[in-house]
């Protein structure tokens, strides 16, 4: 599959501070190729790829380090094209509600946490994350949560971040009017979620540093961070504090677009003070809700009524896309429902600009070819197809042949960029690629719409910004693997053993055997 069908390679300069020593990754294998090779790295770039043992004398004379990788496989470092990095780090330190099969089960998990430890501090909100109320048989209520939490302020965040379930004490703390079901949706939920994340910088940055190192251990070299905040200064602080294991493209939201433009920022620009790791990301525009919260904007009504919500009108979206083009920003439009995708495509066509559609979970058949015709990237999260298959079957019954439609998008000419939307799914590209290629988990249910699967090669292209394989001249962002990603069994592929990760020739993760 030609790489032009995927997210185009976006080169980065070698990471600064310090420039790594010259190195030879010796006796490696390239997926899909026979024989062994040596990868020569100089000044943070791949200088040459030669048959094993064929080393340039001038390179060796310069004192290059030779590292025998004993037949391991090397690929370009992986990118997660859609994360909320602060929320991902916070979720690891909250009550995990992802396994709750009902509202009652979620409440019981919270009750046990509150009663198991010391007397809760009333000044601290108890926070849980990851519930999926779209597939619950019972109905949440504020009273149900009140009865279990004994007046302790409690806030539970849905897995898709579009809904927050509060008890009465938390509603009073955050000054919100609580409906009978206790659920805030969309912007009111986002506002409370932002407040819940207002912890000391040192605490959050420490958790983000841990999350970044865990990502590096999975072969990740970069993320597109779409946290709902003015993100530039947050990442400058983190990098100045020593976080240097990931490249970051930091997104901007419409409320900050003029501030960014006044500062001379534009998508793709390297940010001063970011040690060569930080760039300006896309302009993120949310125009509908989510499947779980049943607010994704759809052409046909949901079984229980309503079409979801369109949070930005087409006229407003056209104006935003036009302003993005004027200021040098690539638009990244959140559109989940088929109605929202239609609106987004119409707006891109009217403005005549390229960009990205984030999620594209549900798309009309007649709209697939428009992605290619408009030169758009579909920034998709394959793990959601497996997480949300039951919700999709319930809400889009009889139409799920075009839900999470990776193959149809690719065949329609879309460029693909894979991500996680962490914390909605784990920040682990191997889980995303496994979901994209197998369309199933090892749960006995079998694949879900396997006709929408990608090949391994296509998934790797879409997870490496169109590179797919390493080449001389590339920045030395590299993942070293213990198995061949093209031929490993599905279970090995999903949990791919990563031996090392390099960013611009500098180790950001180095396993015990390397």
Give the pLDDT confidence of 400-431 residue by residue, as tens digits.
999 999 999 999 999 999 999 999 999 999 99
| CA distances for 327 relative to 3, 259, 322, 339, angstroms | 28, 11, 9, 28
What is the structure's pLDDT at 3? Answer: 34
The residue among 478, 465, 497, 472 whose CA lies nearest residue 80 is 465
Instruction: Catalogue all structural domains in the chain, each as residue range(s) with its CATH number.
Output: 1-76+470-514 (2.30.40.10), 90-196 (3.10.310.70), 200-281 (no CATH), 287-417+428-463 (3.20.20.140)
Backbone angles phi, psi at 352, to 5 degrees: 75, 35
Strand partners, 250: 225, 280
Q: What is the CA radius of gyration of the chain?
A: 23
Cα separation, 414 vs 437, in Å, equals 17
**Contact status, residue 99 vs residue 74, Cβ threshold 8 Å:** no
Burial-class residue 96 by CB neighbours within 10 Å (0-12, 13-18, 19+): middle
pLDDT of residue 16: 46
Residue 465 clears pLDDT 80, i.e. is over it: yes
**Alpha helices in 297-337, H assignment, sequence order:** 314-327
pTM for the whole structure: 0.90
Q: What is the mean pLDDT of residues 158-163?
A: 91
Q: Which uninterrupted H or E stretch holds 304?
A: none
- The per-residue DSSP string of 108-155 comes to HHHHHHHHHSSPPPTTS-EEEEEE-GGG-SS---HHHHHHHHTT--EE
The per-residue pLDDT for 7 is 42
Give the pLDDT mean for 372-381: 98
Bridging pattern class, strands 73-76 and 478-481:
antiparallel
Tens of pLDDT along 221-273?
999 999 999 999 999 999 999 999 999 999 999 999 999 999 999 999 999 99
pLDDT for residue 121 = 79
Looking at every residue in the chain, the average pLDDT score rounds to 93
Residue 446 pLDDT level (bands cut at 50, 70, 90): very high
**E strand or H helix that includes residue 26:** strand 23-28
For residue 15, what pLDDT is reported? 42
Query: With 50 as the cut, is the pLDDT of residue 6 above it?
Result: no
The tens digit of pLDDT for each residue in 289-340 reads: 999 899 999 999 999 899 999 999 999 999 999 999 999 999 999 999 999 9
311 and 186 Cβ atoms separated by less than 8 Å: yes
**Residue 133 to residue 137: CA distance in whole angstroms:** 8
The gap from C-alpha 319 to its chain's centroid, in whole angstroms, comes to: 27
Provide the pLDDT for residue 119: 78
Residue 9 has pLDDT above 50, yes or no: no
Q: What is the pLDDT of residue 71?
A: 97
Q: What letter does residue 229 receive in the DSSP assignment?
A: S
């Amino acid at each position: 599959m030609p790489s032009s069908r995927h997210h185009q390679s976006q080169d980065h300069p070698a990471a600064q501070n310090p420039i790594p020593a010259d190195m030879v990754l010796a006796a490696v294998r390239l997926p899909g190729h026979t024989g062994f090779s040596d990868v020569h790295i100089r000044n943070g770039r791949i200088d040459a790829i030669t048959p094993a043992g064929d080393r340039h004398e001038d390179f060796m004379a310069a004192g290059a380090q030779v590292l025998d990788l004993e037949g391991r496989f090397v690929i370009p470092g992986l990118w997660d094209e859609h994360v909320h990095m602060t929320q991902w780090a916070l979720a690891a330190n909250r009550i995990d509600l992802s396994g709750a099969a009902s509202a009652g089960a979620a409440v019981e998990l919270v009750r046990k946490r509150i009663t198991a430890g010391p007397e809760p501090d009333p000044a601290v909100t108890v926070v849980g994350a990851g519930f999926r109320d779209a597939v619950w048989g019972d109905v949440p209520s504020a009273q149900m949560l009140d009865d279990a939490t004994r007046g302790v302020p409690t806030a539970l965040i849905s897995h898709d971040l579009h809904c927050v379930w509060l008890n009465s004490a938390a509603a009073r703390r955050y000054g919100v009017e609580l409906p009978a079901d206790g659920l805030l949706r969309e912007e009111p939920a986002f506002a409370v979620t932002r407040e819940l994340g207002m912890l000391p910088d040192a605490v959050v940055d420490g958790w983000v540093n841990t999350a970044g190192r865990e990502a590096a251990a999975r072969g990740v070299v970069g993320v597109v961070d779409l946290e709902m905040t003015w993100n530039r200064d947050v990442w400058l602080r983190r990098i100045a504090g020593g976080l240097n294991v990931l490249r970051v493209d930091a997104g901007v939201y419409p409320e900050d677009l003029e501030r960014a433009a006044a500062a001379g920022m534009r998508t793709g620009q390297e940010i001063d003070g970011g040690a060569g790791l930080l760039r300006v990301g896309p302009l993120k525009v949310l125009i509908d809700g989510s499947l779980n919260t049943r607010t994704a904007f759809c052409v046909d009504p949901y079984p229980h009524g309503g079409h979801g919500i369109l949070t930005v009108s087409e006229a407003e979206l056209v104006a935003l896309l036009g302003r993005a083009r004027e200021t040098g920003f690539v638009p990244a439009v959140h559109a989940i429902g088929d109605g929202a995708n239609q609106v987004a495509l119409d707006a891109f066509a009217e403005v005549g600009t390229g960009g990205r559609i984030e999620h594209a979970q549900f798309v009309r058949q007649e709209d697939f070819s428009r992605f290619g015709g408009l030169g758009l990237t579909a920034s998709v999260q394959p793990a959601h197809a497996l997480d949300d298959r039951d919700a999709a079957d319930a809400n889009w019954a009889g139409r799920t042949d075009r839900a999470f439609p990776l193959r149809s998008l690719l065949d329609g000419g879309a460029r693909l960029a894979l991500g996680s939307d962490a914390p909605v799914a784990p920040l682990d590209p191997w889980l995303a690629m496994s979901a994209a290629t197998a369309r199933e988990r090892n749960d006995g249910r079998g694949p879900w719409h396997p006709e929408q699967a990608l090949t391994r090669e296509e998934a790797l292209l879409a997870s490496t910004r169109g590179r797919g394989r390493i080449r001389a001249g590339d920045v030395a962002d590299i993942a070293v693997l213990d198995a061949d990603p093209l031929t490993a069994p599905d279970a090995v592929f999903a949990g791919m053993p990563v031996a090392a990760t390099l960013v611009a020739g500098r180790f950001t993760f180095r396993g015990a055997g390397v």
